[in-house]
Chain A
């Protein structure tokens, strides 16, 4: 049985589905990337797993975490798991950290709650954690406040909090998107190393395909609140079959340091992501899709081919280039 099993997960706001019928597994120690544009339902999926959805949103389906259904757990039991066995890293560390508390106290808080450490022991452990995330002068930084840190340092603090209780799974929602490329590189290298050292499962949410392809084993594409493709990085990034993944990949390839020639128009996806509740019925991508056919007015079922799954009536044919 997988560590995290998401079955038929839906998130509803009134009668508008923000996420519908999502199914996927995360095995222990596995790294899974969740990609798609803003408004695809990636963050909503992660928040549903964490039990952090805002009030007024309802869920259905199951999120099994080592045998327990996270969606039906009591808040008390969920709080016991959160921060201990399931941790989350948010995009904007400035809003995720408490501006009125010192860094050392915030890193140590999880240990005080879940491990019953004394204030003194928690601070000692926090300083060690800050050293593990390569903060310069950890003992000094432990006494600082979030506003005294740079964006990259704040994200390191978030990572230190996430790994403090040796979680089984870390969810990271766009952890490097707010950082500039050089800082992003250092934070990605750090995350990559720590996830390997901890041996924990990792669910990375990012719109940047390059970031996901560098860090993850498996990739899942979401659009309009549904899964449209999933598979190994070599399948979904190497040879995407869903027109949406393919379009994202073409844009990302062109817009990279060794992409399309300067001065040429970049490929982009026509139109914009509609707001929740305004996606077309059937396949949510059909209005923007170049490969749409009459069948697209109905939602295509997920077709499984080994490790590679797609939900499309008219998928791109596999290239199956000989690997050399």
Chain B
């Protein structure tokens, strides 16, 4: 492994869905995307529903085959590889999904949910000890291991999903809207947990979201997707202070703001 060059490189990546074979109707979900992710980056991919951001995440996870273009990891092309050849990539790149109820198997105990990636990838560790470590790192009690997902609240389930993603000691996490189903105070707890984990484990984070408020807090770089095109990229603060594209401005302006009287924004816009 060389330390030079990006960790993950997306080159001219496109994904076209054929919706009607005979009429030749098609939808371009991602169009000619280019992106470099360096070690330790925290990158947000933002856009509204239908912008192609979830497709982009699934392409990065090699859960979808790109129509054209490549994805390289540590300089080696991983897009188009067979599942058998992806074992190392699967270990190093893990995903957290939006809805922790449907992403956790209701029939498995938490212990098995957390140990499954280790077994599947043949990682030889003391399972019990690893599960305890993982639960500690997401601030859940060790007793959680013997329970089922439905016995936990939404926020706790998302902690379990994060612990599962951490089980293989990945280098990179791809998180698709991991907090959008959560209430505000639980959302704050999960964001604090994620930023702590990124810091403590030196993780690289690709964070998919529609919510600029969340993104501003967690990520240092922002990529704006609109109808499958990357329309703007930049450092988070620049994107907020000086958005170049009208669409980016709309994304920021759409976030509801706290007002103390209807129709009046709270004070003057604050600068930090």
Contacts and interface: CB of A to CB of B under 8 A. Distances in A.
A182 B249 CA distance: 11
**Interface range, A side:** 35 or more
Contact of B184 (A182, A209, A234): A209
Contacts of A209: 184, 258
A180 B218 CA distance: 18
Interface in A213-228: 213-217
Nearest to B180: A180
Contact of B272 (A179, A215, A261): A261
Contacts, number: 138
Contact of A257 (B48, B49, B212, B220): B212
A37 interface: yes
A211 B257 CA distance: 7
Closest 9 pairs (CB-CB, A-B): A180-B210, A238-B260, A210-B256, A268-B188, A185-B254, A266-B188, A182-B48, A269-B185, A181-B254
Given A237-B260, A257-B252, 15 more contacts: A37-B184, A151-B49, A181-B210, A181-B211, A182-B250, A182-B251, A185-B253, A208-B256, A210-B258, A213-B260, A247-B185, A268-B185, A269-B185, A272-B153, A272-B156
Interface in A234-249: 234, 237-238, 247-249
13 contacts: A182-B210, A183-B48, A207-B184, A213-B259, A237-B259, A251-B188, A255-B184, A255-B214, A260-B217, A262-B217, A268-B185, A268-B188, A272-B156
B216 interface: yes
A314 interface: no
- B interface majority secondary structure: helix
A183 B49 contact: yes
Contacts of B154: 38
Given A180-B210, A183-B49, A262-B216, A256 B185 contact: no
A294 interface: no
B258 A249 contact: yes
Interface of A: 31, 37-38, 150-152, 179-185, 188, 207-211, 213-217, 233-234, 237-238, 247-249, 251-263, 265-269, 272-273
A258 B210 contact: no
Given A37-B185, A262-B236, A256 B213 contact: yes
Nearest to B191: A266
Contacts of B189: 268
B261 A233 contact: yes
Contacts of A258: 257, 269-270, 272
